[in-house]
Chains A and B, each alone.
Chain A
Amino acid sequence: MAVAEASQSLTIDDRETEGKGINFAAERLAQEARQPLSFSGSRGTQDVTAEFAAAAKQLPPGQLVKDEYFTLFEAVGALEIMDPKMDSGYIPPGDSVEPGFDVCLGLPAEEVIWIMDELLRLTIVWHDGYPLSQTVYPSLHVDRLLSPDNKAPYTFSFGDSTDQYVETEERLVHVVLRAFCVALVKSCALVLHTIQSQGFYEEEDFVTHLFGRELLPGTGADEALRLVDEAVRFVEEESELDKDMRSALSERLQFVRLYVSLLMNDIDDWTDMTAMDEIADTHALARARPEAFSDKVQRQLATSTPPRPMVPITWEEAHQRWLQLSADITEAGDLTDYDVCQSPHGLQRAIWVFVYRNPTPNTFARAYLQNILFAGEQVTEGITFFDLMLTDMRDLVLAGHELADPQSFVVEMPADPRHKCSRIMEAFMDKAFDEYMNLYRMVCQNRCRIRRTFTQSVGILDNLERDAQRSDSELDGVIGGILLPTEDDSALIALNPLTSWTKYHKLLVMSWTIQLGFETDIYLPHETGMMYWYLMVFAQRRRKLLEHIDRFTSARVKNLASSGDVRPHADAVVSLDWLAVLRKEVDLIISLSSALWQLNTALAMTKVIEAPKRDYAQEQLLYDVRMKSYLGIAHDPVPSLDEYRDAEQSIRSTDEACVNVDSAVKDAKACLAELKKTTSKQGKYFGTENEWKREMKQLETTCVAVAVQTFQLRSTAYKHGQHSLKGIVEVRVPPPGSRYHDWWPVPQIKIKEKIAVV
């Protein structure tokens, strides 16, 4: 699982462990294990109050007596007792220990409706990552069901039968509200199960902590549904409530029944969750009973962290979030359906499109999507992960070639070259498997983690290139290399399919890390220009690689046309079309990043953007830190700081920069015009057509914005003689979320009004 893999690359910071590293931690654990822990009340204790106090007084102020393995770094995480912000057990003077509300009391329908609605509101807040202790647990009815003193069948009277409650208002609580609460708690258990079976980040995305409680282990989800059905029967047939109340209660019961059934996978149409709209319509019938909820439950919960600040959301906002959740999950199913999965590139795009929905799908929705793809052995009917990777290799570098033909892999004759080659391919694919699957899995995480993981992938893919080269050599040994003469016919070059494939993904991931860096706002204003330059360089290298691959695929198309192999020929033609689209896409990146690099350079030349004054910083060191993840690349190392500086200095004036920007923008627009004409088959964006169109528009707007800003800068520079425009021009980079395209920050130029000095 990706999270586990990512955690393998964690290192122990020597500072925290006072220079003792992993052995230190091991010793410490052993030491703690040796200490017998006994919480058996006051057996065998000695009163040391006086002697301890006396000894403590003798210490000089500020001196600590502490265990040698206990670090002050840890001490910061200690809960301070009697501090109301940290001590959940602190009872303010005058406050009662327990909330005074009796959960066994009958309640009128209006109040039961309110409690149910409040629980629905709090459940969706829990989905957003707030702990149960601050969302669902403060319901006193839920708290009673989950009480350690309660047991199956979990009633409000500690497991006793509910037959004694005969009044309508009592049955509304003990039959109806109870069924609702039991079902809701089981839904939480099911949601947790899905989330925890896939990749997510605890505390960042979601809090799975149960605070020492269990979620009704003695009752299954089926039993919960049965209770709900009984409750509906009571409401409709026995309650003798008026029509509005009856339907309001039934709707809520049916909603929670639907939700649990969906989570159990008994049914799978999440669009039915729009039933939430009907509940919203009857929300006005509810009458508040706030005493049924209390934060005081936190005093009884096992918790090692203080309560986190919460932003309250309104009922209406909660309603919208429920609708959003159901829409996201429905979309997750559509984006990963059989047809989309036929193309690995299409599936990758679909996952990106999913997580870039606005608002971003919550942790459960993203876990749900991961579950569809990764829970079993196949991403969809008939396509294993192996099939996916092989198709990826075939689509990109080996269309129509025997090496990537699935039929080659089932040849059993050991002497057959196809058998030998397939084993070599499999061995390589084994090595590449984890990083390849990360291309799908990691995209489901939060943005910052996507960037960070792919930053680490760069090094891993670079190492994988070495393995690819070895495997390509082995393949050469069996079938000879896939060769073509060079342009001038002086030598032969080899395709080296596995190396090319690996290198392509490495370069792709390198581009992503920069663009995600723009999106997560990690670069200072004066660094943006340099990062755009590197983005351009990475894209140029990817372009060259695509040209290299294209030569071979073109040659193969010609050969297959004359050989009469229909299927491989068709595959190769499709691949050729796609390679053309990829080249256009990468040309767009080259042009646009060139434009933005030069615009930023112009702003630096006119001193509108400047590096902050740093007395002790050295440029090379700052560069090394910023470029750390790329500096380790052994295969085609990235250009050095000096090479970047040379490139910068090749631009001789602000005016020249602006002219270049205009030219690059023109090229970018031309690429966009071409791309807009591609079909979803050519571009492999089947299933994400709307997003494709929308992104084209955003990129067009970005191009226009770049041109406009450049024009402004150029004319201002012209007016003022092209020297320093500091104080005359101000620049502001829109933060992520307010850009035309979050991967392309465009500086916004503002010309300060000159205040006339009279």
Chain B
Amino acid sequence: MADTMASVESTEAAEHLEGFLNKTLHLHITDGRMFVGQLKCTDNERNIILAMTHEYRQPSQVDVKLAAERHEKAGKSGNVKVDMKKRFLGLVVVPGQYITKMEVEG
């Protein structure tokens, strides 16, 4: 009886996860980076395979300083907008142990 209960739960869990497939996820990991891509695959350890992934990184102090300098030189005032650094990676696998936060788009 316990086995059937367990398999019902695991089937429901699988169905629930299937609902996320091909949706765009934002994965935040332990070192502060964020990965945005389409979910293709996951498992019981929460390892995530994302397709068409972009990596986002918080701008460093150097980046902020340079942006502020350019802002001043251009004669603008007020707050400086510094974009996160973004680059395309393609297919990635993020081991579950490093994931701090998961968001889904839409």
Contacts and interface: CB of A to CB of B under 8 A. Distances in A.
B86 to A, nearest CB: 8
B103 A67 contact: no
Contacts of B35: 81
A62 B43 contact: yes
User: Which range holds the interface residue count of chain A?
Assistant: 35 or more
Given A37-B24, A66-B41, A98 B105 contact: no
B102 A38 contact: no
B80 interface: no
Nearest to A88: B89
B40 to A, nearest CB: 4
A78 B42 contact: no
Contacts of A616: none
Contacts of B101: 47, 49
B96 to A, nearest CB: 7
A75 B49 contact: yes
Nearest to B63: A98
A80 B95 contact: yes
Contact of A64 (B29, B42, B102): B42
A649 interface: no
Interface residues of B, number: 62
Contacts of A42: 26, 103
B9 to A, nearest CB: 5
Contact of B44 (A32, A37, A51, A56): A56
B91 A74 contact: yes
Contact of B20 (A39, A44, A52, A302): A52
Contacts of A49: 99-103
Contact of A79 (B10, B31, B89): B89
- The prevalent SS among residues of A at the interface is loop
A591 B48 CA distance: 63
Contact of B104 (A48, A81, A98): A48
Nearest to B87: A302
A35 B22 contact: yes
Contacts of A300: 85, 87
Contact of A80 (B92, B102, B104): B92
- The prevalent SS among residues of B at the interface is strand
A52 B102 contact: yes
Interface in B72-106: 73, 84-96, 98-106
A46 interface: yes
B103 A47 contact: yes
Interface string A18-52: 00000000000001100111110110111111011
Nearest to B92: A79
B91 A79 contact: yes
B62 interface: yes
Contact of A78 (B45, B92, B100): B92
A49 B49 CA distance: 16
B10 A39 contact: no
B98 A67 contact: no
A59 interface: yes
A56 B36 contact: no
Contact of A97 (B43, B49, B60): B60
Given A56-B13, A61-B44, A89 B33 contact: yes
Contacts of A217: none
A82 B30 CA distance: 10
A114 B54 CA distance: 36
B30 to A, nearest CB: 8
Contacts of B105: 38, 44-45
B49 A70 contact: yes
B43 A63 contact: yes
A79 B42 CA distance: 15
Given A48-B104, A81-B29, A300-B85, A63 B93 contact: no
A56 B45 contact: yes
Given A47-B103, A52-B102, A79 B93 contact: yes
A301 B16 CA distance: 35
Interface in A78-115: 78-82, 89-91, 97-98
Contacts of A39: 24, 36, 54, 86
A376 to B, nearest CB: 37
A349 to B, nearest CB: 44
B91 A67 contact: no
Given A78-B91, A81-B95, A65 B106 contact: no
A639 B35 CA distance: 60
A350 B34 CA distance: 55
A56 B74 CA distance: 50
Contacts of B18: 65
B93 A78 contact: yes
Contacts of A91: 31
Contact of A65 (B14, B29, B38, B55): B14
Interface string A489-510: 0000000000000000000000
A413 interface: no
A74 B44 CA distance: 20
A67 B20 contact: no
A60 B103 contact: no
Among A36, A52, A81, A299, chain B packs the most CB atoms within 10 A around the CB of A81
A304 interface: yes
A17 B29 CA distance: 32
Contacts of A97: 60, 62
Contacts of A56: 13, 17, 42-46, 96
Given A64-B41, A75-B93, A89-B57, 7 more contacts: A48-B104, A49-B101, A57-B13, A66-B40, A81-B92, A89-B33, A212-B88
21 contacts: A35-B38, A39-B86, A45-B104, A48-B104, A49-B100, A51-B16, A54-B13, A55-B13, A58-B44, A59-B13, A70-B40, A75-B49, A78-B91, A79-B89, A81-B29, A82-B29, A89-B33, A97-B60, A97-B62, A98-B60, A302-B88
Interface of A: 31-32, 35-39, 41-42, 44-49, 51-67, 70, 74-75, 77-82, 89-91, 97-98, 149, 158, 160, 212, 299-304
CB-CB nearest 8 A-B residue pairs: A304-B90, A58-B13, A45-B103, A66-B41, A59-B44, A302-B88, A78-B93, A55-B13
